A and B are shown apart, each in its own frame.
Chain A
């Protein structure tokens, strides 16, 4: 069946070459000083650039943080699935479980002064940028205390003070916007970069190439990150792109292909990209990743991919499992301790949902707020203009 013939590429076995510390001393999970060297699962592939090395230094603390952050993201997305089925979340809900390594690895390489902009699969990026579970669930349920006060919904999470510029519903639009952020950072003479995330579906958008051309002409510190989960909604990459080597699609712009299920590979790539962008202008990172859910909650995700493929990736390449194995092999925590952390996270998520449910719906007057920053006292109208009108402040 045509569907499966490419899927074997997705099942790259985790490298067993994880260095084992011979010391019997138990490493403390809060230890920030001991250096542990890890190797990425596969080497990087470069396009018009020399790829960074695949050995990376980390610490027990970082490993534990990766575990905790990814487990929280995983739990949040699974809980969102249940909430959607319970009709507490309406409209669109695009889940990120499976792709957590990209969000977590990127955050580890950058600061909150660097900008991130992404499309609609934004819940976990929001968490990575410092958003809370309560803010996320409340927004998903359309309540007043949501991060966008209930006015945005799943696709429109923002956190400007931590450099997160959304949350965008129009496929591909976020790429020129992200390059605009990079423009502004350069204009303001700041030594920061902007990451514009997009999927393999968006990678064929014309506006991406228009904006990339300008980024290259003007040497903007823009990093384009293609989160290639191999399916643009229901269309496999080889059916949508003549050249699915997205890291090469920049042509004159250098690119790097990265195992997006390996948080350390992501971290290394983002660090490399930031240094590159600040000196030489734009670069493309292609994150080879996978989503377990369908495109959105209205897509089962199994009509265009086999269940074997999905479970195969989960078994061989799950980002959370990779970190778990690293933690266990380095003796930083026991199996039980990790399970306890996951139980704790589950409890946190349940509490956040309970708190979110308590939040009221936005006040009807909020229909008319934030249309403008400066409304000049202009009138705005509801469906029946004679009945519902408001003055915009």
Chain B
């Protein structure tokens, strides 16, 4: 047992909570600033987002929230619970089911100087409003040479949930990430959720904030620093979730958890093999701007790269990371870049097919082994 715990603590200082539900949680005294807190709190992503919204609305009267069911229903996923009671119907607005209309109204309010948070029930519905996100919001500061900036946040769950089918499962990170003038963030943990949402709300530019429905209920440890109302995470900076020296794995949102699980599995296997294979897991946090500096520095150290994402593979986030690394760090690569992404099909409903359409932990393990010459690449069948 101690061997496993030592591994956990040694790898970045943050225990991985998801897998180890049954193991007792240890509070590592490794990191300096943690010494002051006797017991680290845990917080779900849902509560993290709720507290971030609450604090930013409290701090700045110009911040308001609008979207379907955000008020009286307490939020379709309860992210905005309690906000209507606290701030009233002038600042927490239930909209009709008219995304093009209310996204446009939000952008217009931002033109005037307010700081709207527009919630899409899922980002699949953002396609109805995408003209306002791109043409009215993202490009305005440029076209007006700085006269009209748009301090708006578009947020909501992105990517696949469970069994919701083709029209409700798309990941929009790559599409929004392509657009200059937008900032695109994808939190993973509760600390990410709090820090990045607060940064997004305070940011003077339009931000697309991609949450994940399946992460809302996940609990993560959260530091006292992260609970402070002034806590903000920098936009454009990735986080190294787990240190390692043999391969770099990049991921964002839910896939960070999968990548960490894969790292665990490989670490256990590494104990029995002759070589101890460690993986550096990078939580991108920011899709645009992409922290290519951190990614390249990591690849220059490990010489191997596996990109992981949930969305469609063609023209995806992984494709961008791969090309960026080839441009900046080609001579450092010891193996071709491996890319794990969602299947190149619309999302099926049947549970077994859905499982095949979304990356699983085993897929990441497989890719890492290929990158490290631990397995022979298989040719595709069917």
* A interface residues, Cβ below 8 angstroms from B: 115, 117, 148-152, 156, 158-160, 165-170, 173, 175-185, 187-188, 206-207, 209-211, 213-214, 217-218, 369-374, 376, 378-380, 385-386
Contact = CB atoms under 8 A, between A and B. Distances in A.
A166 B144 contact: yes
B281 to A, nearest CB: 23
Contacts of A152: 143-145
A373 B144 contact: no
B142 interface: yes
Nearest to B114: A184
Contacts of B314: none
A176 B108 contact: yes
Contact of A148 (B132, B135, B145, B236): B145
Given A152-B143, A373-B204, A376-B235, A187 B132 contact: no
Contacts of B159: none
A211 B104 contact: yes
B102 interface: yes
B147 A173 contact: no
Contacts of A180: 104-112
A214 B180 CA distance: 30
A257 B144 CA distance: 33
Contacts of A184: 108-109, 111-114
Nearest to B237: A376
The residue in B108, B136, B147, B183 that gathers the most chain A C-beta atoms within 10 A of its C-beta is: B108
Contacts of B203: 374
A372 B108 contact: no
Nearest to B102: A214
B187 interface: no
B100 A176 contact: yes
B290 to A, nearest CB: 9
Given A184-B113, A370-B141, A378-B289, A214 B108 contact: no
B145 A176 contact: no
A209 to B, nearest CB: 8
B229 interface: no
A188 B64 CA distance: 12
A183 B106 CA distance: 9
A160 B148 contact: yes
A158 B101 contact: no
Nearest to A157: B144
Contacts of B100: 176, 206-207, 210
Interface in B107-151: 107-114, 131-132, 135-136, 140-149
A173 B135 contact: yes
7 contacts: A165-B111, A180-B107, A182-B108, A183-B105, A207-B98, A213-B96, A371-B181
Contacts of A158: 144, 147-148
Contacts of A374: 203-205
A176 B132 contact: yes
B95 A179 contact: no
Report the contact-size class of chain B (Cβ under 8 Å from the partner).
35 or more
Nearest to A159: B147
A166 B104 contact: no
Contacts of B140: 166
A366 to B, nearest CB: 8
B90 interface: yes
A83 B64 CA distance: 46
A30 to B, nearest CB: 34
Contact of A214 (B64, B105, B146): B105
Nearest to B112: A184
Interface in B267-300: 289, 292
Nearest to B95: A214
Given A184-B111, A187-B109, 5 more contacts: A151-B145, A158-B144, A177-B111, A188-B112, A207-B104
A179 B105 contact: yes
Nearest to B145: A149
Interface string B195-237: 0000000011100000000000000000000000000001110
A170 B101 contact: no
A177 B107 contact: yes
Contacts of A385: 327
A176 B135 contact: no
A131 to B, nearest CB: 12
A385 B326 CA distance: 13
A148 B144 contact: yes
Contacts of B93: 218
Contact of B98 (A149, A165, A183, A213): A213
Nearest to A149: B145
Nearest to A205: B100
B288 to A, nearest CB: 9
Nearest to A218: B93
A207 B205 contact: no
A181 B180 contact: no
B112 A370 contact: no
Contacts of A166: 140, 143-144, 148
A207 B149 contact: no
Contacts of B111: 165, 177, 180-181, 184
A56 to B, nearest CB: 31
